[in-house]
Structure 1
Amino acid sequence: MGLFELLQLLIIGLYLVGTVLFLVGTAAANPRLRRLAGILAVAGFALHTVDIALVFVQERGVALNASGTYLSILAWSILVIYFFFWWRFRLEFMALTVLPLALLFFLTSMTFSGIRVVMPKQLTMLFFGLHIGTLVLALGVLVMGFGAALAFLHYNKKIKTKAGLRSLGKDTPSLSIFDRVNHMVVAIGFPLYTLGLFSSFVWYWIAPGKMFVWDVMKISSLAVWGAFAFLFHQRMLLGWKGRKPAILMIIVFAAMVVSLLHHTITFRQMP
């Protein structure tokens, strides 16, 4: 592995770890983890700047003819804009979308540039195992959130009517408990789903014989991630409670189930 390929891996690693730490730090309300995530993002951005400079030095004018270069510059530009807004308005929460998107565009730029890093099979399988394991855990956590959301909406409707209120037993849990479960599911499930989704992109890039290609599976997974990211932002940073996050939790769960079913059918049809 050459220095240029090693630089690519370092950038991916810094962006990936920074993304995970920021998600965990936000979910756990831990400013130290968020600061560490910011430091890693800045370090990744610095190496990314060096990477773009090396591409232009080595390939000169030819670099502008490669679509991968434009995607890499796009990822770099997203971070430049984010750092400006963070410096000007202290909009730290925007890192929830900026870091994963920068990582995604950078990984995609590697695919279009034709750069391939041959890794040992055991190492690539670690990323695949991480992808499967975290998605399974995320879905398991979402099942709890789905049940809590249905219960919240059901009992909330009963409480609003006198007849329904009389039918409630003494052992019926309070709505705040269901809402608290919803909060915990969002705090745990979104970082798990993010880690599972983006580890698959890393696996596609480093696994021998694998080529990253946009298809319905990846687009639908990103759509689910976008809806989950919105719920995470509204719930964790803006303090959403009650009916709205419960409804959105049901939508995210249903979308994830449909996406996974589509993946299963597609894999069965593949030769």
Structure 2
Amino acid sequence: MSAFNILFVLVLAAYFAGATLHLLGVVAGRPGLRRLGNGLTVAGFAFHSADLAVLFASEGGAALLSGEFYFSLLAWSFLLIYFFLWWRLRLEMLGLLAAPLAVFLFLSSQAVTATRMPLPKALGGLFFGLHIGALFLAISLLAMACGAGAAYLYLERKIKTKEKLSGFSKALPALSTCDTVNRWAVAAGFPLYTVGLLSGFIWAKLTWNRIFSYDPKEITAIGVWLLFAFLFHQRLFLGWQGRKTARLAIWIFGLTLVSLLVINFFMPTHHSFARYIDGASNLPVWPQP
């Protein structure tokens, strides 16, 4: 078995075991299981980092043309943001979202490889790396805001109905902590999403001499940006907090997942992996204006 295959098994096993033990620890009220689950998730993240390094070292710049690399990198980004929030806020609860999402996306990266759907060569390069890097960090921040928003709404309903907090409910952080995650995610995520979107349009102009093509992926990305901009404005300048911002963060992340998973695979778009089966690498050439 190659080093790459060994790392794949280690990453998957550590992530899956970490997510399972974390969930069992929360439901059963066993802090020891939660800590063990977090430890395994950290180990999985270390293996995952090594896996990305091996992939890049073995393929060089060609890794940047692989759908496998980008899906794996997105899974890695989710956990990077989760660990940062865990370090700053001691918010273990977000691991219930981050670890399962990392497992799903990491497995998705292997599905892309199995069906041989490489990204076209035109999507490589440092400028596209800026586009992808900024967007992935923004999406990861949105995921954490979504998880914190769901926890906020759940806990708020429990408090309003005066239900006794037990089991899973007792493991949730205070409402103010959930709201803090939302504020941080919005404050950092919107500028990153803006950079990612603008760099993508500039890169498209340099590559195809066309900024906007009315592609479903581009239209959805602009819709996400508008909603994100509204949340950013209401949150930071008008003082929105609590239930409204929690709900909006959940909707924005949901739309982002539709863009990432549904449009990329099942709709006609020049961002789609399905257009490049069996190594085809040419993007559509639009008529010049």
| TM-score, normalised via structure 1 length | 0.50
Residue 185 of structure 1 deviates from its aligned partner by 0.4
Structure-to-structure mapping, 1:1-271, within 5 angstroms: 125-165=125-165, 172-207=172-207, 209=208, 211-212=210-211, 213-265=213-265, 266=269, 267-271=272-276
Larger radius of gyration: 1
Secondary structure, in 3 states, of the residue corresponding to 1:162?
coil
Equivalent pairs counted in the alignment come to: 149
Q: Is the 8 A contact 1:138 1:193 kept in 2?
A: yes
What are the Cα deviations for residues 59-79 of structure 1, in whole angstroms up to 9, with x where unaligned? xxxxxxxxxxxxxxxxxxxxx
2: CA distance, partners of 1:128 / 1:170: 44
| Change in 2 beyond 3 A, CA 1:263/1:171 | closer
| Change in 2 beyond 3 A, CA 1:125/1:244 | same
Amino acid at match of 2:163: A
Amino acid at match of 2:158: K
Residue 173 of structure 1 deviates from its aligned partner by 2.0
2: CA distance, partners of 1:185 / 1:214: 29
* Stretch deviating more after TM superposition (216-225 or 260-269): 260-269
What are the Cα deviations for residues 223-263 of structure 1, in whole angstroms up to 9, with x where unaligned? 11001100000001001011000000000100111111244
| Change in 2 beyond 3 A, CA 1:263/1:200 | farther
Matching residue of 2:68:
none
Where structure 1 has 5 or more consecutive residues not aligned to the other structure, the ranges are 1-120
What are the Cα deviations for residues 175-213 of structure 1, in whole angstroms up to 9, with x where unaligned? 000001110000011111111011000001112x56442
1: CA distance, partners of 2:166 / 2:254: 32
| Change in 2 beyond 3 A, CA 1:133/1:162 | same
Q: Is the 8 A contact 2:155 2:169 kept in 1?
A: no
| Change in 2 beyond 3 A, CA 1:149/1:170 | closer
1: CA distance, partners of 2:261 / 2:167: 38
Paired-residue identity, %: 48
1: CA distance, partners of 2:263 / 2:244: 29
| Change in 2 beyond 3 A, CA 1:261/1:167 | closer
Q: Is the 8 A contact 1:127 1:199 kept in 2?
A: yes
Secondary structure, in 3 states, of the residue corresponding to 2:224?
helix
Amino acid at match of 2:161: T
Secondary structure, in 3 states, of the residue corresponding to 2:236?
helix
Secondary structure, in 3 states, of the residue corresponding to 1:139?
helix
Amino acid at match of 2:242: G
2: CA distance, partners of 1:170 / 1:216: 42
Residue 165 of structure 1 deviates from its aligned partner by 4.8
2: CA distance, partners of 1:125 / 1:168: 45
Q: Is the 8 A contact 1:127 1:202 kept in 2?
A: no
Secondary structure, in 3 states, of the residue corresponding to 2:214?
coil
Where structure 2 has 5 or more consecutive residues not aligned to the other structure, the ranges are 1-120, 277-289
2: CA distance, partners of 1:150 / 1:175: 11
What are the Cα deviations for residues 5-33 of structure 1, in whole angstroms up to 9, with x where unaligned? xxxxxxxxxxxxxxxxxxxxxxxxxxxxx
Secondary structure, in 3 states, of the residue corresponding to 1:270?
helix
Secondary structure, in 3 states, of the residue corresponding to 1:240?
coil
Secondary structure, in 3 states, of the residue corresponding to 1:244?
helix
Residue 170 of structure 1 deviates from its aligned partner by 6.0
What are the Cα deviations for residues 84-103 of structure 1, in whole angstroms up to 9, with x where unaligned? xxxxxxxxxxxxxxxxxxxx
RMSD: 2.4
